[in-house]
Structure 1
């Protein structure tokens, strides 16, 4: 199933894309509203499926132009991002390919939805794109064996880890450059894991800036696959339903180009992952 979270006239809603490509769902103000995606994930896979069946069979039809797409999970407990998870990207960024995942955190305040504006802050002109696959946790777990790890992932979505490079490298920690307001685009759809190959492996991932392909790779090229990431991250912390694991970007970032290519106001950036969808955002000046 393919879920979206949205807002219509100030009211939150949830919908499922039906086989005809239409969105059917309910607003929070409707009696039949089954809850937001985070609450459905916490309730478990059967509740998620039952809600999806209800939405697609009884939900109201919503046209894409009458709603605003919200992040599929707007307030995850944890957003765990993986750096240097494609070998070519490690090399272009001047690092060795890691033998253990390079992890950092984003915070929910930085998230925006599909078609929302990525904000280029006045403090920097070095706004870079990073197209990424997101694994969405569906079950709570700690010290999860790798062999069982994928059963803890409910589904997948897309991410643009837009980064202020000068702020990223002012210190050894990347937190500042990765957490400016309105720089973490996510969505549009949360696609349940059963619709995709195991671990979302073997999918083409592209980033396009103003229609030009700037990143082009395959999710099978990740240094640490989704199962490995789940197992290693859960050594340290209990993963919770709705947590986001942002799995890293391939080569082609603007910082590594000659001349360097930074996103600017008016640009359109699209993240496209095969069988999951396209995340599209414009860039606006602060």
Structure 2
């Protein structure tokens, strides 16, 4: 092979360390012993053979995991940030532009709320691109993008629809909200738990904000400045329990989900009124509505919440759900074991979970 011959003449010692070189643009397979030696020569190799576009594959990594210095790392411009379970603990990662890979951050980058509090999003992106550690997205165990938010504030009745508990109601004159507790939300791909206490377990797809800065009282015109990014929520709800306690009906263990990742606000398409919520149950469209249908837009929501409490980096704000949840249908259609719920938000992606017995 031409490449092998050129390498032999230019780098006789390096040649001895390469058990296999395939065609230009494909991976070098190295055994564990040769990885360290080859890495020391990488700068010289790329100077001599920039046309090869080679990446380094570490055979000892788990399936789906590659240590990569590929050219694509330097070209990704997306700002979609995920939290995944890596070696038994949360670790942040940056998605590739095609969402096929997650570039995993080095040790120490574990919590999105910490990154946001330190205004270190750009630093995180550089760390992910430079770590050399990549996993295929469909093989990653994704966690809620914020694993331990201090506040999960949810807006109720923010779209024109038949209310799944109270039926037909006039448009609200004031914002209504409720809170979710820690432990309620799971990540993309994890099982949603249908409570054994009720057969009225329902879905609600929602556009969800991740707060990036500590706030005081906000004027609506300044509200977008505190939003770090957008994600999706499935606000799992037990309608029968909502009749006597909204908080109880909205807070069963692992009944809702958050993810699959966060798209930074500057990477979201504009205007925000064109963002859509598309919810499918077992592949069939259940909800499909634009953000422009909200009774109270996002700046109004944030101004209202911050009129009585401060928000902090990593806080989660869901903004309501359009027509089509199971409790508002005729006949009503509640979730059963084995059902799959997929919530897609414009500019973010699809949050998908399957229902199991709780």
What TM-score does the superposition give when structure 2 sets the normalisation length? 0.75
Matched, 1:15 2:88: no
Point out where structure 1 has 5 or more consecutive residues left out of the alignment: none
User: SS of 1:143's equivalent?
Assistant: coil
Matched, 1:150 2:203: no
Paired residues of 1:15 and 1:24 also in contact (CA < 8 A): yes
User: SS of 2:323's equivalent?
Assistant: coil
Per-residue CA shift, 1:232-281, capped at 9, x if unaligned? Answer: 10000001111111100001111121221010100000001122100000
Matched, 1:200 2:275: no
Partner of 2:128: 55
Give the whole-Å Cα distance in 2 for the aligned partners of 1:204 and 1:164. 24
Point out where structure 2 has 5 or more consecutive residues left out of the alignment: 1-78
Per-residue deviation, 1:34: 3.1
Matched, 1:111 2:185: yes
Give the whole-Å Cα distance in 2 for the aligned partners of 1:258 and 1:279. 26
Per-residue CA shift, 1:1-49, capped at 9, x if unaligned? Answer: 100001034132110012243210136xx3xx334211001112xx111
Paired residues of 2:185 and 2:255 also in contact (CA < 8 A): yes
Matched, 1:43 2:115: no
For residue 296 of structure 2, the aligned residue among 224, 228, 239 is 224
Paired residues of 1:199 and 1:226 also in contact (CA < 8 A): no
Larger relative contact order (Cα-Cα within 8 Å, sequence gap ≥ 6): 1
Give the whole-Å Cα distance in 1 for the aligned partners of 2:185 and 2:271. 24
Matched, 1:25 2:25: no
Equivalent runs, 1:91-130 vs 2, <5 Å: 93-130=167-204
Paired residues of 1:144 and 1:230 also in contact (CA < 8 A): yes
Paired residues of 2:150 and 2:315 also in contact (CA < 8 A): yes
Give the whole-Å Cα distance in 2 for the aligned partners of 1:59 and 1:15. 12
Paired residues of 1:15 and 1:59 also in contact (CA < 8 A): no
Q: Which moved more, 1:187-196 or 1:7-16?
A: 7-16
Paired residues of 2:105 and 2:127 also in contact (CA < 8 A): no
What TM-score does the superposition give when structure 1 sets the normalisation length? 0.93
Give the whole-Å Cα distance in 1 for the aligned partners of 2:204 and 2:136. 29
Partner of 2:318: 246
Q: Which moved more, 1:58-67 or 1:107-116?
A: 58-67
Give the whole-Å Cα distance in 2 for the aligned partners of 1:132 and 1:225. 13
Per-residue deviation, 1:197: 3.7
Partner of 2:149: 76
Partner of 1:176: 248
Distance 1:265 1:90, change over 3 A: closer
Matched, 1:261 2:333: yes
Give the whole-Å Cα distance in 2 for the aligned partners of 1:274 and 1:89. 24
User: SS of 2:240's equivalent?
Assistant: helix
Per-residue deviation, 1:203: 1.3
More strand as a share of residues: 1
Partner of 1:273: 345
Distance 1:35 1:217, change over 3 A: same
| Alignment RMSD | 1.6
Distance 1:211 1:80, change over 3 A: same
Distance 1:159 1:6, change over 3 A: same
Q: Which has the larger radius of gyration?
A: 2
Q: How many aligned residue pairs are there?
A: 278
